[in-house]
Structure 1
Amino acid sequence: MQRHSARPLAALATIGTLVLTGCGTQSANPGERTATSADAGRTIRAQEFMRLTQVHDETGMTLLEGPTFGEDGGLFVVDVTAPEGEPKVMRVDVGKKTLRAVHTDGRGTYTSAQFSPYDGRLYLSDFSHGEIVSLAPGGGDKRTFFSGEVDGARMNPDDIAFDGAGNLYVSDSRGMSEGEAHGRVVRISRDGTEARVLAQDLAAPNGISFDQDYQGLWFSELTEDRISYLRLDGEGKAASRHTAIRVNGGIAQTDSIAVDADGNLYQGLHGRAAMAVYDRYGARLATIEVPSRAKGLESATNVAITPGGTKAYMTVSGPAGGYLYTFDALAEGIRQSNGG
C-alpha cells in the first residue's frame, strides 16, 4: 500500500482510526546489488485504461491497491480510502471497460486483495483493525479469517501472499506511525488458527510476493527503500534472509511487489507514478511510467499481469483520481503477479 503526497506517516490518519504504520540478517552482504542510474534499463510507457475513482470528499483522497484477477476473468481492485457507502472493493470487466461495486462497509481499511488457492475466496487485509477478512468470489458473505495479536502485538497488515497450499504471508507494518522498525513478516496457517513471525525489526514492510518457484519471499521496506529476500524451508519457516536490492528512488519509496513467470520483480513506487522492474539478481531491467502529460498522478502501487498472458494492469492514484494503466509485461503473469 502506498501513501499519498507528503506522508508516509500521517496522511491516511484522516480516515477514522487508521494509523500507518534491522532488516536483513546483515546490513550489507556480498550478494547485495545496489541499483544505480546505469542500471535504469528501458522505459516502458503505460497507457491509460480507465478511471475507477475520484477523490472522496470525506477522506480527501483515493488510493487504489491490490489488483487481482478472479476465475471469472474480472479484475478486482480495492480503494484504501473509500468511505462507508462508496465501493471499497470493485470489479472491472476489462473486456467491456465496465465497473461494479463488490463490497463496502463502515469499518474496514482494505490495503490488498488476493484469491486463496485453497478455498477460492477473496482475502483482504484490514490495515486499521489488524484483521484479514474474506469475501465470496463475487462479493458478499464477509468472514473474519484472522484477528488478534501475533506474539503479543496486533498487526497492521499491508500486503498479502499465498503459498500453493493456501497459507497466508503478511507484511505487517506495525510501528510505522512511530517511525520505528517494529514491522514483521507473519505467516498464518490456511485455517487461520496459527500465526507466527518469520522476520521482525523491519522498517515499514509493504510489498510481499513469492518468487516464481515458491522457494522464498520478496518483501520491500517503505522507509528504507530496500527489497529483501526471505528463503523458506519445506515447512514455511525462515531459513535465511538478506537485503537483495537497494532502490535508488529519490523522493519515491518502495511499495507493493509482483513477480512474473521469469522471476522478474515489479516494484511499485510511492511518490512517483511508476514501477521499477528488476531481474532476480537485482539488475534494473525497465521503468514503467505513465505519459508525461498525465497530471495529478503521484504513485503506482501495484500491478496484476493477466494469468498466462502479458497484458498488465497497474493501479495509479493521486489528486486526479484512481486509474488503471496498461502495459506489456516482460513475461507472463502467474499467481505471484496477481494480487497481494
Structure 2
Amino acid sequence: MRRPAIRSLAALATAGALALTGCGAEAGDPSGEAAAGGQGRTIHAHRVMQLTEVHEETGMTLLEGPVLDAYGHLIVVDVTAPAGEPKVMRVNVGEKEAETVFTDSRGAYTSAQFSPYDDRLYLTDYAHGEVVSLASDGSDPRTFFSGEVDGARMNPDDIAFDPEGNLYVSDSRGLSEGEANGRVVRIDRDGEATVLAEGLAATNGISFDRDYGGLWISELVENRISYLRLDDEGVVTSRHTAIRVDGGIAQTDSIAVDADGNLYQALHGRPAMIVYDEHGERLATVEVPDRGEALESATNVAITPGGTTAYMTVSGPAGGYVYSFDALAEGTRQSNGG
C-alpha cells in the first residue's frame, strides 16, 4: 500500500517494531445493480458498527480475521493494536456491542480461525513468526508453532484448516525486501511444518476450494490469485496463475470461498471485495457506500456457515468497522475465518 497510515496485513516489519507495508444503507439487494464492462453486479454492504479508532501509539488501526463463534458472535483481530489494548475482540452484531477477548504485550495478529480438531481459536502472529491458540473464551494462550521452516522464519498471514485440523499458512516472507520469497506452509496438527510452495510474491489470502482438492492463494504484490492443486496427502502437485485482479492502486488481500466455490477477494487499498466464480468470471463487486479517503481497505470476510450473511472488516483513518452484505451462496466452515 502506498500510504504508510494503513499498509497491508502482509506488511508488518520485523525488528521489534510494527510497520505496515504490506454503515448507512440497508443490506445489499440480492439482485444487485448492473455494473458496466462485464464487471458483474454491485452489492452494497451496510455498516454494522465501528469497533476501533486509530491508535496513537501505532498511528493506525487494521481489523482482520473475522470469524463467527459457536454462539454467532463475531471474533475480530486488530493487527496494529498496541500492548494492552484489545487485540482480539468479540462482537455481538445484534446488540452492536464488543468486548475484549485477548491482549498481550507483543503479538501482531493477522488472522483467526477455529480448528475443526480441537475447537480452539488459532491466530497468526505476523511479527514473531508464530501461530498461537486460545480457548474460545480467550483464556489458556498457547504457542502452537514457533521457529524456522526450512531455515527461514515465517511471516504467517492467513490460515486455512483441512477437515482433519491441519493448518495451511500463507507466509508473506520477503515482502519488505520486494522479493518473491513467499511460501505456503503446511503445519500438521502435531506442529510439524512443511513448505508446500515457494517463490511466491507476498502470499496473503489462502482458502481451500469447495472440495478441498486445491488451495486458492492471493499474491499481494502481483495482484493475482494462484491455484495449487493438492493430492490426497495434501502435497502440491501443480500450480498456476488462475485470476489476474485488476485492482488499480488496490492489492489482493484475504480470500474466502463459499459453498458454490465462489471466491471473495478482499482489496487492500480500496474498501471493496471482488467476487469471482471458480472459472475466473467476475460475478460481483461488494462496495462500501460511504467509501472515500477515510476508509481505505476491506481486508477479510466471514460468511455465516449455512447462511448467506457475510461480515467484512474495513479500516482506514476513520477507524475500524464491520460491514455486512448478502453473499452469493451459503458459507461453510472454511469460509468462516482465515
TM-score between the two structures when normalised by the length of structure 1: 0.91
What is the correspondence of 1:89-108 to structure 2 with a 5 Å cutoff? 89-108=88-107
CA distance in 2 between counterparts of 1:309 and 1:77 reads 19
Q: Tell which deviates more after alignment, 4-13 or 240-249.
A: 4-13
CA shift for structure 1 position 336 = 2.3
Structure 1's unaligned 5+ residue stretches are 22-36
Corresponding residue for residue 17 of structure 2: 17
CA distance in 2 between counterparts of 1:4 and 1:280 reads 34
CA distance in 2 between counterparts of 1:172 and 1:58 reads 27
Corresponding residue for residue 334 of structure 1: 332
Cα distance, 1:6–1:110 mapped onto 2, change above 3 Å: closer
What is the correspondence of 1:110-149 to structure 2 with a 5 Å cutoff? 110-149=109-148
CA shift for structure 1 position 188 = 0.3
Corresponding residue for residue 69 of structure 2: 70
Aligned length: 325
CA distance in 2 between counterparts of 1:72 and 1:177 reads 39
The structure, 1 or 2, with the larger RCO (C-alpha pairs under 8 Å, 6+ apart) is: 1
Cα distance, 1:39–1:186 mapped onto 2, change above 3 Å: farther
Pairing 1:239–2:227 present: no
Equivalent pair of 1:230/1:241 in contact (CA under 8 Å): yes
Equivalent pair of 1:79/1:110 in contact (CA under 8 Å): yes
Equivalent pair of 2:5/2:60 in contact (CA under 8 Å): no
CA distance in 2 between counterparts of 1:232 and 1:264 reads 19
Corresponding residue for residue 46 of structure 1: 45
CA shift for structure 1 position 314 = 0.4
Offset from partner CA, 1:298-321 (integer Å, 9 cap, x none): 000000111111111100000000
CA distance in 1 between counterparts of 2:11 and 2:219 reads 18
Cα distance, 1:82–1:183 mapped onto 2, change above 3 Å: same
CA shift for structure 1 position 335 = 1.6
Which of 255, 258, 266 pairs up with 2:256? 258
Which one-letter code corresponds to 2:63 in the other structure?
L
Which one-letter code corresponds to 1:260 in the other structure?
D
Counterpart secondary structure, 2:176: helix
CA shift for structure 1 position 97 = 1.4
Corresponding residue for residue 82 of structure 1: 81
CA shift for structure 1 position 98 = 1.0
TM-score between the two structures when normalised by the length of structure 2: 0.92
Counterpart secondary structure, 2:99: strand
Equivalent pair of 1:20/1:173 in contact (CA under 8 Å): no
User: Over aligned residue pairs, what C-alpha RMSD do you find?
Assistant: 2.2
Which one-letter code corresponds to 1:281 in the other structure?
H
Equivalent pair of 1:150/1:195 in contact (CA under 8 Å): yes
Which of 208, 214, 217 pairs up with 2:215? 217
Cα distance, 1:195–1:314 mapped onto 2, change above 3 Å: same
Which one-letter code corresponds to 2:171 in the other structure?
D
What is the correspondence of 1:189-338 to structure 2 with a 5 Å cutoff? 189-192=188-191, 194-292=192-290, 296-338=294-336
Corresponding residue for residue 164 of structure 1: 163
Cα distance, 1:234–1:100 mapped onto 2, change above 3 Å: same
Cα distance, 1:4–1:71 mapped onto 2, change above 3 Å: farther
CA shift for structure 1 position 95 = 2.0
Equivalent pair of 1:4/1:298 in contact (CA under 8 Å): no
CA distance in 1 between counterparts of 2:210 and 2:231 reads 15
Identity of aligned residues (%): 76
CA shift for structure 1 position 17 = 3.0
Cα distance, 1:234–1:20 mapped onto 2, change above 3 Å: farther
Corresponding residue for residue 153 of structure 2: 154
Equivalent pair of 2:255/2:300 in contact (CA under 8 Å): yes
Cα distance, 1:110–1:2 mapped onto 2, change above 3 Å: farther
Offset from partner CA, 1:10-61 (integer Å, 9 cap, x none): 975499434667xxxxxxxxxxxxxxx7331011110111000000000000
Which one-letter code corresponds to 1:268 in the other structure?
A
Structure 2's unaligned 5+ residue stretches are 22-35
Counterpart secondary structure, 1:223: helix
